[in-house]
Structure 1
């Protein structure tokens, strides 16, 4: 869960500076739908959101990514960004919150992106239906990664590059569990939140001569645990298949 305590008018002003486009990073130039300007975080608008993953996307450009599954479509930021970056032949976007589907679709309409399908909840039954090769699996499913990420049950995952946000605050032994399951077929890399992200955002805001001080780390991620707000950090695994 992410905090969004930046004033709406501030985000509107900043987005206007960039022509209502993402400014920086691998999704630079992507047009932002008007309806999402007040929904996105400031770091998404600027392009520094989860910047620790930028090098992974650069690496994947050399790996013939043509078929993509996204688990957790949310507001469409990654769905549109990955579509724009790879121009895939097929893109399956799972998002169980139906109200988010039009928001996801709005990116594709305004940016004339490739074909895509927005689906509901990702389940084990859904995953068992896939027979074609999936080149990239991008997963952020709030603790259900342990259920949905299993090459012993879903054989196609053995041939997929995988980026997964881990939620160790929800589940125990996640890293060791995935290491055991994937080490024979994948190289495994742990990726942590970039805590210099705030400084990078402030550098851009200073360059725009806006009197804004951005400071979100480490309060931008949290979960509700037994009625208490518990702050968490970003933790990702990059599972890179050993053969292409």
Structure 2
């Protein structure tokens, strides 16, 4: 491009009115270019995938409170599969999950269930509980249903789409209930003053997403502080997990491979709010 043409273009786009018209077109062009690159890219295969799956063997949870949970395949929705099969996934809340299993809830609501790691795992380990699993992803719901059948708990796992605040206000708990919630910031809309009365005899484990809205955790704490005892549990970053986790499957791997194996991909340190009802004796 010669200097005269280049200068003419610069003068053209420097005009505010011209740029107001052109900018959306440029943005659309950038977006379409990116989508074309994605659509035409040849999928790459991580060479460590075979290494990890050979080390792990069959996709059955190896360790932790959900040991023995069977997966139809090495597939996960919205999170990494290998930590789930190993049992390192969200190990920070493993003691709480053990409490949940021991408590024997009448109903367990898993809101944001993905492929059903917790929904089916809790159904498997808590045979007296009826589990209601909710997710907006149709493929995840299909996989969750398949996993329930594989683990012999399909008669106690009900899989549905969106759970709303209005549904929580009217949910017919028959005894002591549990709500297990990981819904990517939607928790601020899901729990409110109109349904909190129906949850006073429930325990809740809510993963808060302050990186989406920094007011979420404070909102949850204010909403439940009069009816529930509150414990806050913080997540570990993936680097710490790679350096400190001692699961057998990670031994013999280098630090880069261990970070991949235990990788959960949280964008920031996260918090779980473990809310235990003050009303239940």
Instruction: Tell me whether the two structures share a fold, i.e. TM-score over 0.5.
Output: yes
Does the 8 Å contact 1:68/1:88 carry over to 2?
no
**Structure 2 unaligned spans of 5+:** 1-45
SS at match of 1:239: strand
Count of aligned pairs between the two proteins:
230
Question: Is 1:76–2:116 an aligned residue pair?
Answer: yes
Matches within 5 A, 1:52-67: 52-67=92-107
Aligned-residue RMSD, C-alpha? 2.8
**Aligned equivalent of 2:274:** 238
**Aligned equivalent of 2:73:** 34
Per-residue deviation, 1:198: 2.4
Residues 218, 99 of structure 1: CA spacing in aligned structure 2 closer, same or farther, 3 A cutoff? closer
Higher relative contact order (CA 8 A, sep 6+): 1
Does the 8 Å contact 1:6/1:42 carry over to 2?
no
Does the 8 Å contact 2:83/2:263 carry over to 1?
no
Per-residue deviation, 1:203: 4.3
C-alpha separation in 2, matches of 1:89 and 1:194: 30
Does the 8 Å contact 2:89/2:262 carry over to 1?
no
Per-residue deviation, 1:92: 0.8
Per-residue deviation, 1:40: 4.9
C-alpha separation in 1, matches of 2:56 and 2:261: 21
Question: Which runs of structure 1 show a deviation greater than 6 angstroms over 4 or more consecutive aligned residues?
Answer: none
Per-residue deviation, 1:216: 5.2
Q: What TM-score, normalized by structure 2, do the two folds share?
A: 0.72
Residues 81, 200 of structure 1: CA spacing in aligned structure 2 closer, same or farther, 3 A cutoff? farther
Residues 41, 176 of structure 1: CA spacing in aligned structure 2 closer, same or farther, 3 A cutoff? same
Which among 129, 139, 147 is matched to residue 99 of structure 1?
139
Does the 8 Å contact 2:132/2:159 carry over to 1?
yes
Pick the structure with greater CA Rg.
2
